Amino acid sequence: MAVYTPADRDAPYLRLAAEAHPLPADAPAESYLNIPRLLEIARRAGADAVHPGYGFLAENPEFAAACAEAGLRFIGPPAAVLARCGDKAEARRRVAAAGVPVLPGTGPVTDEEVERAAAAVGYPLLIKAVGGGGGKGIHLVERPEGLRSAVRLARGEAQAAFGDPRIYLERWLPRPRHVEVQVLADREGRVIHLGERDCSIQRRHQKVIEETPSPAVDPALRARLGEAAVRAAQALGYENAGTVEFLLDTDPAPGGSPARPETVAAPTCQTCHMPEGDHAVRTAWGFLAVRLPLPEDKQWAADQTTILQALGVLDPEGKPTARFDLVKQADVARLTQEDWQKERERMLRICNQCHSLHFARAELEKGDQMIREADRLLAEAIRIVADLYKDGILKKPAHYAYPFPDLLAFHDAPTPIEQKLFVMHLEHRMRTFQGTFHANPDYALWYGWSEMKRALTEIRAMAEELRRAHQPRKR
């Protein structure tokens, strides 16, 4: 059984659910964060357990407690454990007492204590929110003169995001790797671990790729991490599935041993974007995410043909136009198999600095499939507008060379439906493409593909309205 908002009514997970129950509004406070409404739906449906998913109420102790009071099994840790883990300072204190290694740091500090505490921890340091999570409320302070202003900012953000202005301090590592260990715990205090994941590739403290096993972890370190993760879960009284997160210091103190093999690279933005010292951000698909020869998939080939015709690169018969040479000269598309393969192999070499070739190739192929799905939506929208030209319902601008909307003339869209199409192409399809090849699936889905779906729905409705308005009225 699943729940959904109006905006999520076409979400893929609903097709897998035996039952789907609507929520009345898109606003989180009235839908996915509305505890009484969710419990009422569960009661009416005869559910005996609630799985919170991720985000929203997944780590909310009040929700876990409300489920228990309603006689529903909350699939996750008990409310008391969630509250314990949600207090980062308390969780840190408990695991440290159990012998789990933690970075030098403090408990919650007041404004009067913060300067003395910072001197004890040492600079540079991080200010963190006691109630924090998801990378929010973290501030780097490199020198003492920046401490006071950073504390004020961190407290304000913590209050706004978590309703708790408390902060604590922790030693900053300049080039750590983020490695986390999956644990499972039953109600009898028995805990096992299932190995590690490397989550070092992040954007704004948000993980974008998880890789297992970690290329930075050898068998001896893997055993130490697993043992520490089990002790941490036991110290917190944890139950159910969970994750214990670790930082591996890749720049140890003199005389220490590195936490990763010397042959393993820690990626930076420059690793992927400036491999030859310039900012040549390129993929096998080019800036416009189109290619020749066409894909072997017949539907995808037809969709790419439609897009290339709307770009003015191919004429209505599928033959190259004068614009073909301009696009090729600008190097914004891959118009030969050799060009496409050359850039794909280059990306694989760059990815292989941090990942196995098998993993890199599989991830890039997932990106290809995301483009295919986006092309299906865009091509349908292009054909809808082209059919309006063909049927005389929409006047084709005189400077358009062919009976297709000209996607490169986005600056002078003559009608709202054409403007909607141009934004769908230039903004939302581009976000789908960029998010995919920056290994940021959430961005690609929510700000790219989902917006394309919304735009296509609106274009269909606008076309239907134009056709109704064009029909002669009966006397």
Give the position of tokens 């309006």: 388
Query: pLDDT for 250-294, tens place per residue?
Result: 755 443 444 334 444 445 555 666 556 555 556 778 778 888 888
Lowest mean pLDDT of 39-48, 51-60, 169-178, 438-447, name the range: 438-447
Three-class SS state of 375: helix
Phi, psi of 358 (to 5 degrees): -60, -45
Most confident of 238-242, 335-339, 442-446: 238-242
Query: pLDDT for 308-346, tens place per residue?
Result: 999 998 999 989 898 888 887 877 788 888 888 888 888
Q: Is pLDDT at 369 greater than 50 in this prediction?
A: yes
Q: 231 with 225: CB under 8 angstroms? A: no
136 DSSP 8-state letter: T
pLDDT at 257: 40
- Exposure class string for 366-404: b at 16+ Cβ within 10 A, else e: ebbebbeebbebbbebbbbbbebbeeeebebeeeeebeb
pLDDT at 274: 59
Domains belonging to the chain, first-starting first, are 2-76 (3.40.50.20), 104-171 (3.30.1490.20), 176-266 (3.30.470.20), 298-470 (1.20.850.10)
Q: Is pLDDT at 231 greater than 90 in this prediction?
A: yes
The sign of the CA dihedral 75, 76, 78, 82 is negative
Query: pLDDT for 69-117, tens place per residue?
Result: 999 999 999 999 999 998 988 999 999 888 888 888 899 999 999 999 9
Rounded CA-CA distance 279/15 in Å is 42
Query: pLDDT for 396-429, tens place per residue?
Result: 988 888 889 999 887 778 899 999 999 999 899 9
Q: What percent of the chain has pLDDT over 90?
A: 46
Q: Is the pTM of this model over 0.85?
A: no
Token pair of 470, please?
Answer: 């064009």
Determine the straight-line distance between the first and last CA of the chain, rounded to whole angstroms: 52
pLDDT at 452: 94
Mean pLDDT across 216-221: 89
Nearest to 443 by CA among 379, 367, 391, 385: 367
Query: pLDDT for 106-145, tens place per residue?
Result: 999 999 999 999 998 888 899 999 987 766 778 899 889 9
Mean pLDDT across 157-181: 88
Phi, psi of 309 (to 5 degrees): -65, -40
Burial class of residue 334 (count of CB atoms within 10 Å of its CB; 0-12, 13-18, 19+): buried
335 DSSP 8-state letter: -
